């Protein structure tokens, strides 16, 4: 898994290094780089969730024929929840205060927020596994209702975890 903080650090040029020697600026720049890393991480999370949604929509289209049609509404509910989660991730606050902001966010708080976002990236696999289980149930014709409920639960769990990010942001500010 990519560490986006290292990627942002490695992109620093000699001019930024020189400016970093100005008293007080280096702390500001480190926070700016952490903000960039967090934004890259959330972009990756959004991309991965979009890929899962595309896969889920493909499985949903397979439910239009045969006995799977009974699960079409529930699968659509899971897809809607996944789209809502994607929208939440895209519009999430960055957890950053600028150089002149009155409220300062501590570096360790930014690190904790980054780690929280990074842990969410690992949870996307759970949604993918749940979608694979639905696909297997569609193919075999067995256990479809249970598999769809598992998919909905996986999306709900990740969405609730992400809602915890907002609570963490409130605690920081």
Which pLDDT tens digit goes with each residue over 122-149? 789 999 999 999 999 999 989 999 999 9
Three-state helix/strand/coil letters over 2-52: CCHHHHHHHCCCHHHHHHCCCCCHHHHHHHHHHHHHHHHHHHHHHHHHHHH
Contact indicator for 79, 154 with CB cutoff of 8 Å: no
Q: In the structure, what pLDDT confidence band is assigned to residue 114 with cuts at 50, 70 and 90?
A: confident
Token pair, residue 130, equals: 């749940």
Q: Is the pLDDT of residue 16 over 60?
A: no
pLDDT digits (tens, 9 = 90+) for 84-111: 999 998 887 665 444 434 344 566 666 7
**What is the number of domains present in the chain?**
1
* Average pLDDT of span 49-67: 94
Question: Where is pLDDT greater, at 44 or 15?
Answer: 44
**pTM exceeds 0.85, yes or no:** no
Q: What angle do CA 93, 96, 98 make, to 5 degrees?
A: 130
Q: Can you give the residue range of the structural domain that contains 141?
A: 4-172
């Amino acid at each position: 898994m990519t560490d986006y903080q290292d990627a942002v650090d490695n992109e620093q040029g000699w001019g930024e290094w020189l400016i970093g020697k100005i008293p007080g600026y280096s702390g500001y720049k480190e926070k700016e780089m952490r903000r960039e890393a967090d934004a890259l991480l959330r972009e990756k999370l959004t991309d991965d969730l979009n890929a899962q949604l595309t896969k889920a929509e493909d499985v949903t289209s397979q439910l239009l024929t045969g006995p799977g049609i009974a699960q079409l509404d529930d699968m659509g509910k899971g897809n809607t929840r996944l789209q809502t989660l994607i929208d939440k991730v895209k519009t999430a606050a960055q957890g950053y205060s600028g150089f002149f902001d009155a409220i300062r966010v501590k570096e360790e708080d930014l690190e904790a927020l980054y780690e929280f976002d990074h842990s969410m990236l690992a949870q996307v696999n759970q949604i993918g596994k749940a979608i694979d289980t639905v696909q297997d149930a569609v193919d075999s014709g067995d256990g479809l209702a249970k598999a769809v409920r598992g998919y909905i639960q996986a999306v709900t769990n990740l969405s609730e975890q992400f809602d915890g990010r907002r609570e963490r942001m409130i605690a920081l500010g």
